[in-house]
Structure 1
Amino acid sequence: MNGELTRRSWVMERARAPWRGFLLSLLATPAILLGVLFSSSLSLVGAGIGVLILPAVVAMVRGLTDVYRARITEWTGHRIERPYLPDRPAESTGKAPARQLARFQRITADPATWRDYAWLVAEPLVVPFTAGLPAMLIVYGFWGWNLTAWAGGVFGELGWVDYYTFIRVDEHYTDGPYRMVGTAVVGTMFIVAGLLLGPKMLDVYGRWGTRLLGPTEKSRLALRVRHLTESRSDAVDASAAELRRIERDLHDGAQARLVAMGMSLGAIEHLLDKDPEKARILLAETRASSAKALAELRDLVRGIHPPVLADRGIGDAVRAIALDHPLPVEVTVDLPARPEPPVESAVYFAVCEMLTNTAKHSGAERVWVELAYRNGAIRVSVTDDGRGGASLEGGTGLRGIERRIGTFDGVLALSSPPGGPTIATLEVPCALPAPPVL
């Protein structure tokens, strides 16, 4: 079964690659138009008009290159981050001319702007010899079959074509059966070559796109600073919200019970001599209240950092969640060692939130949780067989998970087509300690 799936995947990959290369070739047309528009805007900068026009043109260019980045990432496996420097404060304050000038200065000072321009100029020349080449070979191969089938002599007599590669086709095929066989064989070779070269040419194109459309070290550093600033702000907000929750739970729960216990003990003190029987009843109620207060404090502590997480690690902690979950949950853990406590805690509460969302909104009958360590990151996948249709914009739960793991440079991906299944996957980069040597 696995061999059959592998062969099918191999065939599908080679069948898809030329079509994807052809679609990428089509993008060369708007690239040429935007390249001309970009050059025209630059020529008008000296007259002052370009200062107003260029930012709008660059916005269109970045929209097109964003399409390129998305397609290259999805179709070639080469992930390309958005490289642009963040906005300056001057672009959102002051008068309109000052804001426009600040925007123009930021755009022209951004290396990614000129790398995008270089892409627009070079892309129409590069794509036919990389991603678009397999589709051209396949089309040329079918052209050979076309000549074989009916049209060789016709085109030859009209003067449109004399040769197909090295085969002369300027006479009717009824007068040259060997030429019919030759064009069929050569055409088939071109088709096979296009199919076999497709994935490799896409990979070459992906490497080319990564070099030119990806961030430079300067923009990478600026984006990193912005990401850290945002994640720090999110972490501070999350910590403040958690402190407010703890304060509220203490005030409304354990603190209220302790105050009531103090009042009950005062009443018992007055009743010991007058009404011992009633004092005994109040003592029993106070004992029950103390047990409830202790249970609430334990629940509160468990919500801050569960003992099972501290004692047994993330694997057993997730298994403990699964035992209390209203749906059947199958947990698979493949971690060679425990991560650092902050990462472990963030992953644990992210899994808790995802399982809570599954129970509330999915309509599923079963849930599967997989924890593994791959390529320097903890990878968690939560899959359910529910109705699907979930999205990251649908509520605050998944956004909260993104903020929580974003503090550690983690990412969250969601696949939830209508009808299911829903697959939520998060990755948190971390280094695991080496296992002890026995």
Structure 2
Amino acid sequence: MPRQAPQDEAQQGMRGRLPRAAGDVLPSLEEVAGAFVTALLAFAVFCWLGVVLALSLVGVGLLLAPRALRTVHAVADRERVRLRRSGRSFLGPGDPPRDLREARHDPDVRRELRWLVGHATGGLLLAALGLLLPISGLRDISVPLWWRVFPKGEVTPTLSLWVVGSWGSAFAALLLGVGWIALGAWLTPRMARWLVRRGLRLLPIDPSSDLTLRVAQLSATRAAALDAHATELRRIERALHDGTQNRLVAVTVLLGAARRAAERNPAAAPEILERAQLAAEEALAELRSVVRSILPPVLADRGLTGALRGLAATSPIRCDLRVDVPGRCAAAVEATAYFAVAEALTNGSRHSGATSIDVEVQRRGDDLHLRVTDDGKGGADESRGSGLLGIRRRVEALDGTLTMTSPVGGPTTLEVQLPCGS
């Protein structure tokens, strides 16, 4: 019996590694697919840079060079967004240099150019291989199902090593497909990790300028936090002045009328008192609404998960909610996430014309990630004074990020990332 214990442990270890390996393949495939898209963009820009460089020999390219560098920066920013969406948090450089003199002394420009050249060549080949392996595997595995439909001699496996003309050769193609898929399952996570490591090495801001930009960013977020605080105070003041205060004044007037009616016309006093009671109840409801808009009590009572479930249950349109937030986050983080979802639900039901909305909230490491997607008509624009601008200020005040995509015709997707500590 003691001799079999190491064998059993090895078998258990293998059984544990297999699910983990299988679970790595799909995220890695998604990573490679996203890298393939940005690699195609990088290849196009790389070719454009070659044209600009050739034109620079006659002087014309020097005029196009600043715009070409801005295009490089835009493609690099696209890759930064992709890396951040997959859970990587880092600080990127600001706006690209405006002229060649600035670009020549900017280390971030050189880092972006190094990334572009590698991503447009080796990165593109790796990403294409990562997508080609599973596609080839699926094709070859399915050969036994359809090879007889085609004329004899026209069906070959992916590498065209033989012609499929019998069941034996068809099943040989199937085995080749299994080999492609096995090779892809082994290679794809490694290729995805290489692509991510290279991006994280070159696309974040140069360490020498990190502190200066970080101070500027913190100053901007501090100003945004103060502005958001002042805006929130003005909103609360308007709500109390225009709503609650007016209703309390009405209560006071009705109570005075009831006191006078009790002396002169006692039969009319009960009706006036009933109106005063109704006005007092409306004032109380208004006051509760203002209090909930500051910090919903349901967050303290039921946590973020319970509060979001309450929002989903009262949503006028169908809401599919998935929350995976173990433990509690800071109160400010939970309140910001709650109001972001509430604003998205309001926009989806009132303005977007959506019939369903999908809400996903996850905690990944030290960050809280929120994604809200509706199937409405799109076209949302936070610059038109909507509540989205207030949500952005709340998010940026906590040093978070908010990204919204809302093309005309939909869908609208709101993504929020908030640091919530360990």
* Normalised TM-score (structure 1): 0.63
> Within the alignment, does 1:326 sit opposite 2:344 as a pair?
no
List per-residue Cα deviations over 1:355-393 (Å, max 9, x = no partner): 111111343333333333222222223344x34534556
Q: 1:332 to 1:40 in 2, by over 3 A?
A: same
- The C-alpha deviation readout for 1:226-262, integer Å capped at 9, x for no partner, is 3323322322222222212211111112111222222
Give the partner amino acid of 2:108.
A
**Alignment equivalent of 1:220, drawn from 198, 206, 210:** 210
**Which of the numbers 55, 61, 74 marks the counterpart of 1:66?**
74
Check conservation: 2:41, 2:75, Cα contact below 8 A: no
Q: Does 1:337 align with 2:327?
A: yes
What residue is the counterpart of 1:29 in the other structure?
47
CA contact (8 A) 1:331 1:368 kept: yes
**In the aligned structure 1, how far is the partner of 2:28 from the partner of 2:109?**
38
Indicate yes or no: 2:417 matched with 1:427: yes
The separation in 2 between residues aligned to 1:266 and 1:19, in whole angstroms, is 73
CA contact under 8 A between 1:328 and 1:365: conserved in structure 2?
A: yes
The aligned counterpart of 2:358 is 368
Q: Secondary structure at the match of 1:237?
A: helix
2:138 is matched with: none
Q: Structure 2 matches for 1:141-160, cutoff 5 A?
A: none
Query: RMSD of the alignment, in Å?
Result: 4.8
Query: Once the 2 structures are TM-superposed, how far is the Cα of residue 107 of structure 1 from its aligned partner?
Result: 5.1
Q: Which residue of 1 aligns with 2:107?
A: 111
Question: For the residues of structure 2 that align with 1:273 and 1:388, how far apart are their CA atoms?
Answer: 62
Kindly provide the amino acid, as one letter, of the partner of residue 29 in structure 1: C
User: Does structure 1 retain, via aligned residues, the 8 Å contact 2:367–2:421?
Assistant: yes
Tell me how many residue pairs correspond in the alignment: 356
Match of 1:291 among 266, 278, 281: 281
| Counterpart-to-counterpart distance in 2, 1:134 and 1:305 | 46
Contact 2:29 2:189 (8 Å CA) reproduced: no
How far apart are 1:397 and its partner, in Å? 3.8
Q: For residue 93 of structure 2, what is the aligned residue in structure 1?
A: 83
3-state secondary structure, aligned to 2:317: coil
1 CA distance for matches of 2:357 and 2:414?
11
Residue type of the partner of 2:93? P
CA distance in 2, matches of 1:306, 1:16: 38
Max Rg structure: 1
Unaligned runs of 5+ in 2: 1-18, 130-158, 162-175
Determine the structure 1 residue equivalent to 2:250.
260
Aligned residues with identical type, % of pairs: 35
Partner of 1:297, secondary structure, is: helix
Equivalent AA in structure 2 for residue 249 of structure 1: A
The residue type equivalent to 2:388 in the other structure is L
Relative to structure 2, which stretch is displaced further, 310-319 or 421-430? 421-430
Q: Is the 8 A contact 2:349 2:355 kept in 1?
A: no
Which of 378, 381, 385 is equivalent to 1:389?
Answer: 378
Cα 1:13–1:345 change in 2 (3 A) is closer
| Contact 1:84/1:112, CA 8 A, preserved across alignment | no
1:275 aligns with 2:265: yes
Report the equivalent of 2:9. none
Q: Provide the residue aligned with 1:436 in structure 2.
A: none
Going from structure 1 to structure 2, the CA distance change for 1:259 and 1:68 (only over 3 Å counts) comes to closer
Secondary structure of the residue aligned to 2:205 is coil
CA displacement at 1:416 relative to structure 2: 5.7
1:413 offset after TM fit, Å?
A: 3.9
* 1:353 Cα offset (Å): 0.2
Which residue in the other structure is 2:5 paired with? none
Matching residue's letter, 1:389: G
Equivalent residue letter for 2:107? P
**8 Å CA contact retained: 2:72, 2:112:** no
Pairwise CA distance, 1:204 = 3.6
> Residue 199 and residue 337 in structure 1: after superposition, are their counterparts in 2 closer, same or farther (change >3 A)?
closer
| 8 Å CA contact 1:66, 1:82 repeated in 2 | no
Tell me which amino acid in the other structure corresponds to 1:267. Answer: A
Q: 1:7 to 1:135 in 2, by over 3 A?
A: closer
Read off the aligned partner of 1:83 and give its amino acid letter: P
How much has 1:339 moved relative to structure 2? 1.0
- In 2, Cα distance between equivalents of 1:408 and 1:215: 21
Structure 1 residue 415: Cα displacement = 5.6
Partner of 1:379, secondary structure, is strand
Residues 69 and 80, structure 1, Cα contact 8 Å, conserved in 2:
no
- Sort the Cα spacing of 1:22 and 1:249 in 2 relative to 1 into closer, same or farther, 3 A: closer
Structure 2 Cα separation of the partners of residues 18 and 261 of structure 1: 67
Q: CA deviation at 1:341?
A: 0.8
List gaps (5 residues or longer) in structure 1. Answer: 42-52, 88-99, 137-182, 433-438
